[in-house]
Amino acid sequence: MDNKKKEQLNITYTNGDRYEGDFETGVGRIGYGIYYFANGRKYEGHWIKNQMNQAGVFSWPNGDRAEGIFKDGFMHGNGVFYYADGRKYVGNWINGKDDGSGILTWPNETTRKNPLKDSR
């Protein structure tokens, strides 16, 4: 018999990180939730077995923000990276690194196709 229980959880960890969202006993973070890192970073989106997976938004204290698909804790697939300085990169990621095939746009609308890999 399966004793797993899915519930809403609001927990603060000893390192100062905090999680609000779906949790399953024996599995961990699963479904939708928001993870607040003690250093000011934040992930809001879907979880599978304690890892950021599927659609989500990861933000940094400096204003940078990544929106897209995550796999095993990293951007993986199509997404958009918004820089705090107003630049925007639309492209594809593989294990957290942009693959260089996207388009980087500056605030003045200047664009550059296929910028160098890992342009951040």
Burial of 41 (0-12, 13-18, 19+ CB in 10 A): middle
Nearest Cα to Cα of residue 114 among 97, 96, 99? 99
Give the predicted TM-score (pTM) of the model: 0.86
Question: Quick one: three-class SS letters along 7-74?
Answer: EEEEEECCCCCEEEEEEECCCEEEEEEEEECCCCCEEEEEEECCEEEEEEEEECCCCCEEEEEEECCE
Q: What is the pLDDT of residue 113?
A: 86
Digit-by-digit pLDDT tens for the chain (120 residues) are 456 678 898 999 999 999 999 999 888 999 999 999 999 999 999 999 999 999 999 999 999 999 999 999 999 999 999 999 999 999 999 999 988 889 999 999 898 887 655 554
- pLDDT score recorded for residue 3: 63
